[in-house]
């Protein structure tokens, strides 16, 4: 069994943000179910703090847009504080829209696997909890087959993959201050880093 070790720059991040006070704008923030552009393909992935996941997804050639949010749970229109309190069943996730003439679903998933630790259960680095689990939410059988093939390949290489493979569920966009977090605030992810696996 191989374990992936990522250098964690700081123990501060999503987990600490969960413990902070709600932003004033949250009281009036309206969440929406994400609707994809039918001319583009959409991948939905969860790999720990959605700030870091989005940071790397945005850097894939052919990616048109990214939206951070919540999916996989049982509460409609969840807030960040509800998800942090572990009462919704939701994952922090990113919906990635890309141009299929410029990139592929496999390319998105390779970046997904290579920028977090898919062998860690119930969290990523210092961020521990069900909302930080590693998961792929497939939209159709073709996506499921691609994800299964990559997971099988990594297992053959000796990695004990904890990533869950789940059918897509309603995806609720996150609060505005979470979108494009690192591009707006500067800096780089504290618990995501690139490491080739394939």
Indicate which residues carry an active-site annotation: 49
Q: How many CA atoms lie within 13 A of 38 on its CB side?
A: 0
3-class state of residue 47 by DSSP: strand
Q: Which of 59, 165, 174, 45 is nearest to 105 (CA)?
A: 45
Question: Shortest CA distance to 89 belongs to which of 78, 100, 101, 102?
Answer: 78
Q: What is the maximal distance between C-alpha atoms in the chain?
A: 49
- Phi and psi, residue 64, nearest 5°: -95, -40
């Amino acid at each position: 069994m191989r374990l992936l070790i990522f250098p964690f720059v700081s123990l501060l991040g999503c987990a600490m943000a969960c413990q902070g006070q709600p932003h004033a704008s949250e009281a009036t923030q309206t969440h929406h179910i994400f609707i994809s552009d039918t001319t583009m393909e959409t991948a939905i992935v969860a790999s720990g703090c959605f700030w870091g996941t989005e940071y790397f997804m945005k850097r894939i050639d052919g990616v048109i847009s990214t939206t951070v949010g919540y999916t996989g749970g049982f509460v409609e229109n969840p807030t960040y504080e509800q998800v942090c309190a572990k009462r919704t069943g939701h994952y922090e996730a990113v919906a990635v829209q890309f141009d299929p003439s410029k990139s592929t679903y496999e390319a998105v998933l390779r970046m997904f696997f290579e920028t977090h630790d898919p062998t860690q259960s119930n969290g990523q680095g210092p961020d521990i909890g069900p909302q930080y689990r590693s998961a792929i939410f497939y939209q159709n059988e073709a996506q499921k087959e691609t994800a299964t093939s990559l997971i099988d390949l990594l297992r053959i290489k000796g990695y004990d993959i904890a990533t869950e493979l789940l059918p897509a569920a309603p995806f609720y966009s996150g609060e505005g201050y979470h979108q494009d977090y690192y591009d707006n605030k500067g800096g780089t992810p504290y618990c995501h880093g690139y490491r080739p696996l394939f």
